[in-house]
Structure 1
Amino acid sequence: MKDTINKVVALAMGIAVTGKEQVEKTIDELVQKGQVSKEESKTLTESLVQKGEEMRQRMEELAQERVKAILSEKQIATKDDIQRIEKRLDALEQQQ
């Protein structure tokens, strides 16, 4: 049972990378071994896919936040900074 729980937890953690097909394959293996019922398999699959998508989105948000923090720390111009400077430059050029 502990192996089954570990396998499900590992699957949930890797779902963002592995995709729905891998989840279904792993859950089917658990059904064949009698560790999960056929009825439970659908609910478990849907739950893991949803949690995987939530984890993927959260990891993406964290990555974006970290990149922004690094850019801010290193004082590197962002796309918005460059666009703002270009607008100011255009305005100055039109004044001349």
Structure 2
Amino acid sequence: MKNLLNQFISLGVGAAVFSKEQIEKSVEELVKKGEISKGESGELIERLIEKGSKLREEMDSIIASKVSQTLDQLNLVSKDELRKLERRIEELERRE
């Protein structure tokens, strides 16, 4: 079963992009083909969902980091920086 799990996950980041329903359907097909037992299917589904969640979190972190690096390189201001500047302008306008 471990080998089967590794094969399933090694299909790229399939587990990360599969929905729970897709994973359940794929595992049910494995049960129908006799590649795993019905008893093993529940454990496999849980493992794939867990692995998918972890991969999604890792991908989100990598993407956020890359986007941040790119924005820094482009010298663009962030929303927070823009809001601070807007507040400062409003304060200065009120003083006049």
TM-score class, shorter-chain normalisation, is: 0.7 to 0.9
TM score, norm. by length of structure 1:
0.83
1:1-96 paired onto structure 2 within 5 Å: 4=4, 7-10=7-10, 13-96=13-96
Question: 5+ unaligned residues in a row in structure 1: which ranges?
Answer: none
Distance 1:5 1:53, change over 3 A: closer
Letter in 2 for 1:30: L
Letter in 2 for 1:91: E
Distance 1:84 1:91, change over 3 A: same
In 1, the alpha carbon distance for the partners of 2:51 and 2:5 equals: 16
Compare 12-21 and 79-88 and name the one that shifted more.
12-21
Matched residue count: 95
Question: 5+ unaligned residues in a row in structure 2: which ranges?
Answer: none
Identity across the alignment (%): 37
- The secondary structure found in structure 1 opposite 2:35 is coil
More helix by share: 1
TM score, norm. by length of structure 2:
0.83
